[in-house]
Amino acid sequence: MHIVYLNGDYVPKSAAKISIYDRGLLFSDAVYEVISVIGGQLIDMERHVARLERSLGELSINAFADWAVVAQQLVADNDLGEGLIYLQVSRGVMEERDYRWPAPETPPTIFAFAQKRSLVENPMVTRGMRIITRPDLRWQRCDIKTTQLLYASLMKMEAEAAGVDDVWMTRDDLVTEGTSQNAHIISQDGVLISHQLDRRILPGVTRIEMLEQARSMGLAVEERAFSIDEAKQAAEAFISSSTLLIMPVVEIDGHPIGHGRPGEQTTKIRQSYLAVVQTPPPITN
């Protein structure tokens, strides 16, 4: 993985340099996307572009690029079969440090890189994830995919210290989401429950396709928040994200979910999700 993208150019990674005055560094004044690549194909690129443009719009960052072309070029240049593309846009450079934004014509800083990673084959699929819960102390605009990831990073370290795989965060005793995944449960009577789209969670791209697959499997879906207790009583629990795809959760705060093994419906949802994303795109002339 040696070729990266920076402000219009594809360059070796050692040649990609940005200013210490970049607002992405100084204020986390930046948004990003992580797009999975499976079988050399970008997964759900159009939805990632739509979310990126929404994030940029919410923060009034003026940035335009042919996002899909950039991502595709990095897949090709780095010969990426499976892994991810990371794409970040900051408000740009401001040499006089100021909380207020620079003039709107300030050029944004746009960069992207590729990372090779095994996504489909993951040992966690068969053993399932173990989760602990913690208060969600992030800001109240979690619907914008900003690079302010320090709290999520702290929570990942807590999970590691506790010997588990991740943290589900809660506000008012209701589960919002994982540190970098959306959280879902399936109740004992077979209803898939997933937090409604609002400012408390990131509108996951994987979540959209996951819900489509679950509905086409005949599962009823309720988009609402659930409590930790409700999650502990659920038949199944799982997460969705671009890097883990659909991943079963088998334990929450030491309490086994269902039989303490990956749930049957979750496994089916993962399989049908994979079948959809692995279908080669139609040949167009």
| Stretch of 72-80, 236-244, 252-260, 264-272 lying at the interface with ligand PDD (CB under 6 A) | 236-244
| Stretch of 110-118, 197-205, 225-233, 256-264 lying at the interface with ligand PDD (CB under 6 A) | 197-205
With CA atoms as reference, report the closest residue to 68 among 82, 47, 92. 47
Q: What's the maximum distance between 2 C-alpha atoms anywhere in the chain?
A: 59
Active site residues: 145
Strand bridging mode 3-6 / 109-116: antiparallel
With CA atoms as reference, report the closest residue to 135 among 206, 200, 91. 200
Q: Which is nearer to ligand PDD, 75 or 239 (CB)?
A: 239
Secondary structure of residue 123 in the 3-state scheme: coil
Q: Give yes or no for residue 242 binding ligand PDD (CB under 6 A).
A: yes
Task: Give the nearest distance from C-beta 97 to ligand PDD in angstroms.
Answer: 27
Q: Give yes or no for residue 182 binding ligand PDD (CB under 6 A).
A: yes
How many other C-beta atoms are found inside a 10 Å radius of the C-beta of residue 237? 28
Q: Give yes or no for residue 34 binding ligand PDD (CB under 6 A).
A: yes
Q: Give yes or no for residue 24 binding ligand PDD (CB under 6 A).
A: no
Q: Give yes or no for residue 75 binding ligand PDD (CB under 6 A).
A: no
Q: Give yes or no for residue 202 binding ligand PDD (CB under 6 A).
A: yes
Contact between residue 2 and residue 13 where contact means Cβ atoms under 8 Å apart: yes
Give the separation between CA 40 and CA 22, rounded to whole angstroms.
32
Task: Give the nearest distance from C-beta 78 to ligand PDD in angstroms.
Answer: 18
Give the separation between CA 128 and CA 58, rounded to whole angstroms.
36
Give me the half-sphere count of Cα atoms (radius 13 Å) on the Cβ side of residue 142. Answer: 29
Q: Give yes or no for residue 206 binding ligand PDD (CB under 6 A).
A: yes
The only residue of 4, 61, 205, 211 in contact with ligand PDD, by rule CB under 6 A: 205
The only residue of 90, 181, 194, 266 in contact with ligand PDD, by rule CB under 6 A: 181
Residues lying near ligand PDD in the complex (CB under 6 A): 34, 177, 180-182, 202, 204-207, 240-243
